[in-house]
Amino acid sequence: MNQELFHNVTRWFSANMERAESELHYDSPFHLLIAVILSAQCTDKRVNMYTPVIFKRFPEPEDLAAASFEEVYELIKSISFPNNKAKHLIGMASMLVSDFDSKVPSEPADLEKLPGVGRKTANVIASVIYGKAVIAVDTHVFRVSRRLGLSDGATVEAVEKDLTAGFAEELRGTAHHWLILHGRYVCTARKPKCQECGLQEFCREYKLNNLVL
């Protein structure tokens, strides 16, 4: 574990990205959970276009649990994988009502019991809503972490383990957003904007590609 690299990355982000938070719009833990489920393989911008109507129609878990598949599908049909997501949303709301007293649980292990909620989604909710010291690894976090050299992990779980060990506990939730936003706007998948990147001097892949010692 390269603690010097983690220190330098933390220092740069702290100075250059003071405001790092989810770009999903929400007004309650339940609505953030809906938005994160919908955001799987879909952009936050697109999800934000449709969630105001969804949130108005389903203000509480009971409302969504009582909805028909057709009703939910009609509201999310322009979002990726609407069939599965409609089923997951109704199942998630139903389990919140039946097993969690209509409250979004705070522990990742409990969140992962909900339909449509994997490890990444569980960690996002636990971190953003409840301030848990966990890091959610999505495609952006995975890519940026490996390019920078913060992790050599070949799996999401391995990268999460490295990031959890490398970032200070109180910074893990923020670090998640640092890496997502950097991957979304600078360290993009196909054409990373290396010449604009302030992390050039610390980035392992940049050094390798440009023979910087």
93, pLDDT greater than 80: yes
Q: What DSSP string runs through 2-52?
A: -HHHHHHHHHHHHHH-S-----S--SSHHHHHHHHHHTTTS-HHHHHHHHH
Model confidence over 168-188: pLDDT tens digits? 999 999 999 999 999 999 999
19, pLDDT greater than 90: no
The pLDDT, as a whole number, for residue 16 is 94
Q: What is the mean pLDDT of residues 16-26?
A: 91
50, pLDDT greater than 50: yes
Residue 136: how many other CB atoms lie within 10 Å: 27
Q: What is the mean pLDDT of residues 115-138?
A: 95
Which entry of 44, 85, 132, 138 is annotated as an active-site residue?
Answer: 138
Q: What is the mean pLDDT of residues 67-79?
A: 97
Report which of residues 34 and 211 the model is more confident about.
34
User: Cβ contacts of residue 101 below 8 Å, gap of 6+?
Assistant: none
DSSP state of 19: -
Which entry of 85, 120, 132, 162 is annotated as an active-site residue?
Answer: 120
Q: What is the mean pLDDT of residues 118-127?
A: 96
The pLDDT, as a whole number, for residue 210 is 82
207, pLDDT greater than 70: yes
In this prediction, what percent of the chain has a pLDDT beyond 70? 98
30 confidence band (pLDDT: 50, 70, 90): very high
**Does 152 qualify as catalytic in the annotation?**
no
211 confidence band (pLDDT: 50, 70, 90): low
The pLDDT, as a whole number, for residue 213 is 47
**Does 120 qualify as catalytic in the annotation?**
yes
